[in-house]
Structure 1
Amino acid sequence: MYRLLVVDDEPIIVDGLIDLFSDPAHEPELELYWAYSAADALACLNATRIDIVLTDIEMPEMNGLALQKEINARWPRCKVIFLTGYNDFNYIQVSSRSGATDYVLKTEGDAQIVAAVKRAAAGLDEELAVRQLVRKAESQLSLALPLMQREFGLELLKGAEPAADPAAAGRTLKELNIPLAAGEPLYMIMGRIDSWRAEMSQSDKMLLMYAVHNIAEEYLSDSFRMFHIKYGQDRFVWLLQAKDGGAGAEDGTAGAAASAANPLRRLNGYLELAQSACTQYLRVPCSFVLVSEPFGWRQIAHKFDTLSFLFARGLGTRQEILLSDQQLVDAFREQHDGRVKMRSLQLLDEYLDKGQKAEFFELYRQFMELVEGESVSKTGVAVEIFYSMVSMFITYINRWGLMKTVTDRFNLNQLFNIGEHATWRETTARFEGLANLLFEETASENEKQTNDVIWKVQDYIRDNLGGDLSLTKLAELVYLSPSYLSKLYKQETGQSLKDSIIDARVQKAKELLLQREMKIHKIGRAVGFESAAYFTRCFKKMTQLSPQEFRDGKRVAAEALE
């Protein structure tokens, strides 16, 4: 829906045009505004966005050309159509140079005016067309690319899997300008800046982080393709692939490890050089931990956890370490299932927050099955999962203000005390019951908030039929954007706001028509119709009777009953 402002110092022309464009069958659908002077038009333009202005070019105090400059200053995308009684070529030239969309003579009739407005609306449609938005996005892609690459990398470290189709995964990597191949095995190096010089600013630290990456790339680029992911103040990850293809299956088999021995030896040797260069030239001590075998894309999060675990161990507190994950693979493997899949908790939190019930429970059941056996508190994984779930639920309950609702249904001390649960199956069932309650309550709250908005709008319409019922005014009333309110209202009621307003006005007009002392044209004005003709047209469309026929019919029916 576009907003049309009609401006003319002759009220009869303004009223006639408003009546013309008020026809419910008119395409495109318009929200109408009108002004009887340039000053009134400026007040309207200051109050709300206007998409199309149909204005007289000759007006006292400020003519159409001057008004157009003011329009362009406020709403540069607004289309201006000049309406005049003078077929003056100079006017046409000046208005065109100023950016006018169209020029229509008043003598050309309604059809030409309607056509000009339709052309203006079509121009707005074209400007908003997807192909233009895509072109603009492409022109800015180079600026956004580093951020997009980092977001993609962080998602991989969190456990996101690449597209199942290698071709689709390859297209994503190509679009993001990431120099890796979707079907080939990977190597991972985790790096850490061990300490910063005291005088360094935040920008200095960022520059040095990239300098470390550049030094490593200088040594490694002959043999490896690299993708750099910065994930902390002093941490980063490099994903690499051997340029000679290395070798390896998707799951990193023993054969793959054997054939990849040379790339791994090269990695170790180059990292020693990079570590030494960072200390010598940048005066920044760095530590590196690398994988001991190639692996598939689906194992990125697993390998990330493994290397993070190495940095968290005692050796990781020293400076300028250079380790392989082989030293702690066995110690880490026992803990891996519980630790890696703890990332599922973040997804559970997102599903709960977004009201995605089916997705939540599908992941929830997989998550809770990480604990083997019936015991609740005998394994570290069970205790970690239990209290992580408790933390997630408590945060959500407080965010939505649902503490009283939950305590009325659950004994929270019992629910959130691990010692109160005899078996893991009981724990799973109790948390599932709580999650169901939270989904029900938040869905009910969302529905209540939506209903409150609809009722408030409907009450205001009923109480202000003769006043300002523009979409802008109604949106301000409920603190929503006009476009969102329009969509929400149609979605919840099945009727557009415009039709709802007309319906309310006609219903009120029916009541007033039964009062014999009030004239029909005054009734139309009283309920908000801009002209008698528009009132008659809308009334007849809804009742199949003109206002006069409705009044006469009711009067005859009443007299017959007497």
Structure 2
Amino acid sequence: MRILIVDDEPLVRIGIKSAIDWEAQGVQIVGEAGDGEEALQQIADKDPDVVLLDIKMPKLDGIEVLRRVREQQLPVQIVVLSSFDDIAYVKEALKLGAFDYFHKPDMNERELTAMLRSIREQLGTSGTPAPPTVVTQGSRKEQLLYEALEGKVQDLSETSLEEGNMYIVLFKIKNYRTVIQRYTKETESVLPSTVQNVVREMLSKEKEVEYLQLDVQHSCVFISNSEHKSLLASLNRVNKLVQMISSALKRFVNIDIVLGVSDWFEGYSAIPAGYEQAAKALSHHFYHPDTSIFYYQHLRLQGESALKQADAYVSQMKSALREEENERFLELLSRWEAFLEQEECMEERDVRKVYEGLLFMIGGDDGKVESGAEHSGGFEDIEDFRGLAAGYRKLFEDRLKQRQRLLNKGYSQLTRSIMEYIEEHYAESLSLKLFGELLHVSPNYVSRLFKQEVGQGLFDYINELRIEKAKRLLRDYRYKIYDVAEMVGFHNQAHFAIVFQKYTGLSPKQYRKEEV
């Protein structure tokens, strides 16, 4: 198998090349590229079987490279490399035919070898791509519907949709993370295919209706009502279909869904706007977890004034934290949450970002890092505002108590913030540039101040902490040495061994033998 590595960061490319023994895996790395234009040229020249493709790059980004690969029908598999904040790009990449994706901070030997195994299974034992398959009617229709959501509606005559009294219905599986726990890792892919089969079967006899599964949790239904002259009759039909879908999935799959229904629109060209309306309606489930159907036309849309007031509360909370006025911060937090519950003026993703930003400012360590939770407090499973608010309030109160204890150690606020961030994120990639951006100071200032106050270099401090965490983990034989390396922030086992030897005088294997 021939692989091309594409990433604009040389260190990432080096890390990938050194992550596993590629030759032992039967893989030849035929080249590497630092931008999208170079990637396309290398694909043409080197004829790789697989491309590891970064999403965000200069000249041409990964999405545009994917588009051109698809347009030219190049026989190559694309595996996308992304950061944690690139999920919208990842979804777009998968729509464009990417085979899979990796979060770069999480890449490890097992993930890479599993990816190679999956690709081999698809390509066959020869290691060369299978010839392009004939586009079926179903896949052609799905492509047209995807494009319609983006505004490309010229070929919708190939679907059953007709212009006139059209609606978009968007639905999601309620409490998805809980639902998916019913399945094993090997069988969890059964759920989306089951949902798709049930909905398609139920809608198969309906006129002017099309179904599109967007991802494992979300689906979209396109409805037109050209035979109905009145808006009331059209809406009644939409309501009937919505109830049918909800009942069928509850009966046959035992799942609950939440639905957002757009306002009516007249023609194909308004489909993207209808989709946005349906998504806006669906998003209100965040504030009303006991409601299952939301209509855009019934929403109380907020003006700029409500959003400005919410932002003002956020600014005041940040100011209180900077001034270490903890009681005032908690009081402002209560006011902000009460205001949001009344006005519903912030989207869920923005609310979560505010909470995560406040959590970063507070800092501290709640002990969740070693159990696998991220710095957001492990609240990804909570889908409603009240639950999220309660969870974060408890976490904030605990962290503020920890923060107060640190105040007595004599460090500046900036150094305390660095140490708190390291304590919580030691398993991630850390750099002076990252701390400079997070704290709005120059990287050189971060390095100089930290060494001056703590008495050792920043990266000595980070490595020392990582090795202390690793020593505890090595006492547990459930973890392989490469597992421990990854868990404490080393994505290269050899590098981990070198650093471990430096700080302990022993190799990880020797340490484990002596301690256990």
- For normalisation by structure 2, the TM-score amounts to 0.31
Q: If you compute each CA radius of gyration, which structure gives the higher value, 1 or 2? A: 1
TM normalised by structure 1 equals 0.29
Higher-helix-fraction structure: 1
